[in-house]
Amino acid sequence: MPICVPDALPAVNLLRDENVFIMSNSRANRQEIRPLKLLFLNLMPKKIETENQFLRLLSNSPLQIDIDLLRIDQRESKNTPSEHLDSFYVDFDDIQHLNYDGLIITGAPLGKIPFNEVIYWDKFKTILIWAQHHVTSTLLFCWAAQAALNIIYGLPKLVRQQKLSGVFDHYITDNKAILTRGFDDHFWAPHSRYADFPSDMICKQTNLTILAESKVAGAYLMTTDDRRMVFVTGHPEYDALTLANEYFRDLDAGLNPSIPENYFPHNDITKSAQIRWRSHAYLLFSNWLNYYVYQVTPYDLMTREITIDE
C-alpha cells in the first residue's frame, strides 16, 4: 500500500529500507483516486518509534492512505524532539472541523494513574466524543482502550497487582467475524500493561462483541456492532525487541520486573526474542482498513452517512 506521509518524516527512510511503499505527496496528488484519510493520535512517549511501528502495519493493503499525526497537547516531550512534533504533528484545534475515515489511538504508560489524574484526560474525552461524529471507525490500543471503556460504558479502571508482560496465546471466539477473517484459531500477541480486561465484565457491562481473548490476558479484541469502535488490549504493533527494551529499562531502574512470558527462548534474557505475532498484526490492520473503514466510509467525507453491509 502506498502510505502518503511527509517526505521528511523519519519513518520514511526506515520503511523504504524494509521495502514498504511510501509515496510522496506530489506523486499522490497526481493519482485520480480518493485516498483514505486517517488520524493518528500518538500518546506514547517515544513517538518516532511508535510512528514506525504503526505505519509499518498500515502498509499491508492496496489502499492509498493519507495520515495526519495528532498530538494531545503542547507539553514538551522528554523523548521526542520538539522540532519533530512542531514539523509533523497537528493540534486538535487545527482538525476538529474535519472528518476522517479512520482514527488510531495508541496506548500510553499510564497504567497505575487514576483517569482523573491524567493531565490530558479532559482533552482525551473531547477527542473520543468528537470521533463518534467525525470518524468512520476508531481503533484503540491498551490504555486508550481502557480509557474509552470507562468513558463510554462506565467501566472501572482495574489494575493488576503485577504487570502483564509477554506474548500470549489467544483464540478466536467468532469464526465468522470479518475483523478476524484469515486468523488462525489460535494466535500470539504481545501485552505490556497493568490494566485488566476480564471477559465476563466486558460481556455483562457493555454491548461489545469479544472477537478474541486469552486465558491469561483476558479479552483482547472487541468491537461495537456498528464497527465504529474497535478495542485492542494488547500491542500487536510492537517490534521484536520492544518487550526486551522495556524489560531492561525497568531492570536498570531497579523495578525488579518479571521476565516477559513466552518471549525470550527458555527465559534466557541473553538470547534474542523471536517475533511470532507479525502475521496476525498485519492481518488485523488490513482487515480493519478494508472491512471497517474502506467498505463503509462515505466517498464524500463531509457526509457521515455510513451503511454496514455484510
Q: Report yes or no: 85 and 77 within 8 Å, Cβ to Cβ.
A: yes
Half-sphere exposure for 232 (CA within 13 Å, toward CB): 24
pLDDT of 198 reads 96
185-230 pLDDT tens trace: 999 999 999 999 999 999 999 999 999 999 999 999 999 999 999 9
Binding residues for substrate: 163, 192, 249
User: What pLDDT does residue 14 have?
Assistant: 64
Residue 259 pLDDT > 80, yes or no?
yes
Verify whether residue 237 is a known catalytic residue.
yes
Q: Is 261 a residue whose pLDDT tops 70?
A: yes
Query: Rounded CA gap, 242 and 86, in Å?
Result: 26
Residue 310: the pLDDT is 44
Residue 299 binned pLDDT confidence (cut-offs 50, 70, 90)? confident
Q: Please identify which of the residues 134, 191, 235, 280 carries the catalytic annotation.
A: 235
Task: Pick the more confident residue, 180 or 13.
Answer: 180
Among the listed residues 142, 170, 191, 213, the single catalytic one is 142
What percent of the chain has a predicted confidence (pLDDT) above 90?
76
The domains found in the chain, sorted by start residue, are 3-239+275-294 (3.40.50.880)
Contact residues for 80 (Cβ-Cβ < 8 A; gap 6+): 45, 46, 47, 48
- Spot the catalytic one: 51, 213, 237, 246: 237
* Residue pLDDT, tens place only, 113-126: 999 999 999 999 99
How confident is the model over 48-68, as a mean pLDDT?
Answer: 90
